Amino acid sequence: MGPRRRVLKNSAAEANQFRLRSAIAFACVMLALAGLGFWYFRLQVWQHDDYATRSEANRIKLRPVVPGRGLILDRKGRVLADNVPAYRIEVTPFEAGKSETWLPALGKIIALTPEDIARFEDERRATRGYKPITLKLRVTEEEAARFAVDRWRYPGVDLVPYLNRRYPYGELLSHVIGYVGRIDADDLKELGEGGAALTHIGKTGLERYYEEALRGKVGYEQIETNVDGRPMRQVGHVPATPGADLRLSIDLDLQQAMVTAFGDMDGSAIAMDPRTGEILAMVSLPGYDTNLFVNGISNVDYRALMDNPSRPLFNRNVLGGGPPGSTVKPLIGLAGLDSGLRTPESKVFSTGTFYIPGQKRGWRDAHGGAGWTDLRKSIAASVNFYYYKLAYDMGIERFDEYMRKYGFGDKTGIDLAGENKGVVPSPQWKRTRSKEPWYAGETVNAGIGQGYWIATTLQLVRGTAAIANGGHLVRPHLVAERRDGYDTPWVPLKQPEAPRITDNANNLRAVQEGMMATMGPGGTGRAMAAGAPYLMAGKTGTAQKISRKGSQSFDPHSLPYHLRHQALFVGYAPADNPTIVVAISVEHGGFGGSTAAPIARKIFDAWLLGKMPEPVPTDPKYTRPAQPHAAPVVAAAATQGAPVVPILPTPRAVVATPPAASGTTQAQPQPPQPQTQTQTPPQEPTR
């Protein structure tokens, strides 16, 4: 190898290279520092609010505050629906983890039914994991104490206080007040995101109709938590707005009198103030204990109610209906006067059987021939012949027009959901049901409240009130006043203007006199009015379930129970200054005069004289199956501080109606099947 070649250093070039590298390194450092500063500036200034909110959310949790549901009181201030303190167990699945790890142990502390667990699992699968799900309602104080000791073992499981709905008079007002129930998926869709904090919602009755007012508005609490998510203190809140209180026109004493007057019989009844439309009492019997449904009814109790042939869950006043029988004769008579076809003094000669010209088949009168009959006598003695001929002369088109004017075939507007419109017989209605033509015989049937007629007790009491008050078709309503806050005054609810059913006072007076004569000598309601210290007016009625065969008539009391006729009565008192009007329908009652009218007398006496009826002895002919009842509750004191008079329902003898015709257990009454002109028309028996 040759000698190494010596490389001469260029100090100037090395220095320049060092300075260049130093400048690049310095620039990179400065650029990194600038980027870091910019990033800090972005976090601390531009996005400060966002990250401050996120940080606060880790420390502060919003806890919804469910408002107290509004109270429901009767006209005298007695509490009919209130709230009592209770506890429930809520689980947040995301925090609690798999239920298999904690649920068995929790079940040893708190009694959990298979239904509670199944409901929880269904909701857990259907909702997001970070939303609390109610595992059990109405936790006892003992269970709450046991859980509080071992609370640390169950992350995501909380004991939450709440107000539980209670109905001190349960069965007595079951079809009026209704009940609240646990919120389901359909309810949440309707309520939206704001309803997630709620556990109960009105399901039936006034609880459903006035749900928005009774519910109030949800508030929130701001709770500071530690690193484990445990609450430490409250740092702020948005107060909840309590629900509005409702004062009903219902009188609890009269409600009890109405139930007692029915005894063991099934049916419906309404008492109303004809001057204002305020419902004073309203029953659908049998009823049921609404407390069973508040926190979820058991399968056993629900099946017992559903299998009961008397259908205690069916609201006969709102959803029911049937042929009104002779109770519509006063209004049909008024239609004859206002249409000009009759005058109060016009008479027809009742031979006992009415014949349509050109036909041999006749329509009989249950009383036989009544001779010369005018309007007043036709009402008092319930002469069918008069109304057969009147309906035939009027024609079905005009008949339909007047009946609709009197409120039939349409809703009354009562503040309860699901009201049945009923049916007024007409060719148009029949065409929608079948392809058969309208027959003249069907018009004759309609004249005595039979045939295709479906009228509700609400429609009957409203039409009768129009006769009593001088011709005003008032709106029946249950809620009289409302207040939005305990220290605010009660505000009456405005009612719509009542249309008039007639402008001829003389015609209306003639009808009133006919209804008063019904209660006098020779009238079908004379036995009811015996010994009364006040005047009354009314009309008995009987709606048939089966027709006669040929010339053979049936004694309703000799028929099997499920085939007996419906007993009806409408009336008002005192006749010279009416303050109460009633409509009564007794299922399988037989005669209106002997079954429904005595019930009306007891209701009149209770309202006008303060005389409470004695319990009716059990009818030995039938017994009703027992119904489930929740644990008895004692009437709570009114929030105003006034003492509450505990009026508990008189025990109704429970009867077991033998499984009868399928028509007696249908969910909703259906109109009779169309009949041809050659069929025997229904005849109304003695009333």
- Give the C-alpha separation, 157 to 160, whole Å: 10
The residues annotated with a catalytic role in the active site are 326
User: Which DSSP string corresponds to 163-227?
Assistant: EEEE-TTGGGGHHHH--EEE--HHHHHHH-GGGGG--EEE-SHHHHHTHHHHH-B-EEEEEEE-T
Place of tokens 């508990």: 648
Buried b / exposed e over 633-664, threshold 16 CB at 10 Å, is eebbebeeeeebeebebbebbebebeeeeeeb
Report how far apart the first and last C-alpha atoms of the chain are (Å, whole number). 146
Distance of CA 402 to the CA centre of its chain: 30
Buried b / exposed e over 437-469, threshold 16 CB at 10 Å, is ebbbbbbbbbbbbbbbbbbbbbbbbbbbbbbbb
Place of tokens 């003389």: 506
Quick check: bond before 682 cis, omega within 30? no
Amino acid of residue 347: K
Quick check: bond before 560 cis, omega within 30? no
Distances (CA, A) of 372 to 57, 331, 346, 389, 684: 89, 21, 10, 13, 20
Burial status of residue 362 (CB atoms within 10 A of its CB: 0-12, 13-18, 19 or more): middle
Task: List the alpha helices (DSSP H) in 524-635.
Answer: 526-529, 597-608
Nearest to 343 by CA among 512, 467, 507: 507
Token duo for residue 129: 């994991």
Nearest to 380 by CA among 572, 508, 507, 515: 515
**Helix-, strand-, coil-residue percentages of the chain, each rounded to 5:** 35, 20, 45
Beginning with the edge strand found earlier in the chain, give each strand of the sheet holding 279-285 in spatial order: 279-285, 267-272, 580-586, 566-573, 537-543
Q: What is the DSSP letter of 644?
A: P
Place of tokens 């070649």: 5
> Would you say how long the chain is, in residues?
687
- Give the C-alpha separation, 353 to 218, whole Å: 68
Nearest to 585 by CA among 481, 413, 458, 430: 458
Dihedral of CA atoms 602, 604, 609, 610 in degrees, nearest 10, equals 60
